[in-house]
Amino acid sequence: MDHPPPPPRQCWLHPAVAPGRSPIAGTGLFASAPVPAGTPVSRLGGRLVSTAELLELFAEAATRPDPAYIDTISVTETLHLVMPPGAPNHYGNHSCDPNLWWAGHYTLTARRDIPAGAEVTLDYGTVSTAPGFRLVCACGSGPLCRGVITDEDWRRPELRRRYGGHWIPAHADRIARERRTSHGRPPPHG
């Protein structure tokens, strides 16, 4: 992947989306008015750091008496977006049938129409890249619920069909690389 564009400095949420009490996990994000499919809902911001810098941030946070939570996503295999502390975007909960999906490096858009009062969710399988990541799911999305979310969910054929190109860029790159390799073409050197 080419170097990603610089992220916005701050996170942004659609004006009709705000934190509230969630049946999925403590606090979540909710729509106070209808949000049409395709509408940008969350734009993540912050600063890009290397994997080494991210590991240093985690190590430093772990030494504090009250460790700070570091909210991050992997933009590429080696670059990670560290979001500003306190951004309400952090409250986006997981669902195996989410109403948000990725549209570019830093933006989540409405996957379908979101009615007023609905919790705004994303599939953590489309964003989780930390080796060994495992989350027991409590999303309640019926037959679509996978039960456990992992860093390997990007490999699942049903999710690739469901989400098409709507993955965090690091996963989208992995999927593209795998497709090129499976079609007899070696991945590009880079």
**Tens-place pLDDT, residues 70-114:** 788 888 888 889 999 889 999 999 999 999 999 989 999 999 999
Instruction: State percent of the chain over pLDDT 70.
Output: 94
What pTM did the predictor assign? 0.87
pLDDT: is 56 or 70 the higher one?
56
Residue extents of the structural domains in the chain: 12-182
Residues 6+ apart with CB under 8 A from 24: 93, 94, 95, 119, 121, 138, 139, 140
**What is the dotted CATH code of the domain comprising 12-182?**
2.170.270.10
**Contact (Cβ atoms closer than 8 angstroms) between residue 112 and residue 99:** yes
